[in-house]
A and B are shown apart, each in its own frame.
Chain A
Amino acid sequence: GENVEQHPSTLSVQEGDSAVIKCTYSDSASNYFPWYKQELGKRPQLIIDIRSNVGEKKDQRIAVTLNKTAKHFSLHITETQPEDSAVYFCAAIRRAAGNKLTFGGGTRVLVKP
């Protein structure tokens, strides 16, 4: 089955700096890659996603890149703010596997004022 590895597990950045989280996946049949943000005690919320026919997607301060050949994808947050502090999860869905999300282990991001 699919396996998703996520790095780093913790990330501390100064407010205004950029944050980058990287994920690798094992199954070349995976074709949908969402990113979720989970604040303490709350539900995961989708912040951005990318499909396998796209190499990059941007939404304001957040961008995601996908390298299908290397089977890795990354989340980039620019101009970080204290409210960006949370746990971020990458995930992958394999083609024809319905809605089964395989999650990475998560990255705890702390933005220091």
Chain B
Amino acid sequence: DAGVTQSPTHLIKTRGQHVTLRCSPISGHKSVSWYQQVLGQGPQFIFQYYEKEERGRGNFPDRFSARQFPNYSSELNVNALLLGDSALYLCASSAWGGENNEQFFGPGTRLTVL
């Protein structure tokens, strides 16, 4: 199965720490988006990267940053973790960066901040 992969699956951190989450898109896909899903809510858009450039940013503080590598994989970094950062972080891959194209979600990384 060549779907979207994310690592790690689960992560436990303490307040103030830093975390890096990783995503590998479907082969051939050039766009990666990151979403935060708090328990019981819909996913919230954090970032979109297309062709290694940031194409969109949601309403998240500067503690959140991301990048995309030449192989189109991506990292999401969160600094100075807060309890409220506990959530499922989803990565979505699509063939290109515009609207009207299907996004495929990865299994997510469950982050718990204690």
Residues of A within 8 A of B (CB): 4, 6, 31-32, 34, 36, 42-46, 49, 51, 89, 91, 93-106
Contacts and interface: CB of A to CB of B under 8 A. Distances in A.
A103 B43 contact: yes
Interface residues of B, number: 29
Majority secondary structure of chain A interface residues (helix, strand, loop or mixed): strand
A98 B31 CA distance: 10
A103 B105 CA distance: 14
A110 to B, nearest CB: 15
B56 interface: yes
Given A42-B107, A99-B31, A99-B56, A93 B99 contact: yes
Contact of B103 (A4, A99, A106): A99
A99 B41 contact: no
Contacts, number: 76
Q: Which 4 A/B pairs are nearest by Cβ-Cβ distance? A: A103-B42, A43-B105, A93-B99, A98-B55
Most chain B beta-carbon contacts within 10 A, residue among A42, A91, A101, A102: A101
Given A31-B99, A89-B42, A104-B42, A99 B94 contact: yes
Nearest to B6: A43
B106 to A, nearest CB: 6
A39 B10 CA distance: 18
A49 B99 contact: no
A44 B88 CA distance: 12
Nearest to A45: B105
Given A100-B58, A105-B42, A106-B42, A31 B100 contact: yes
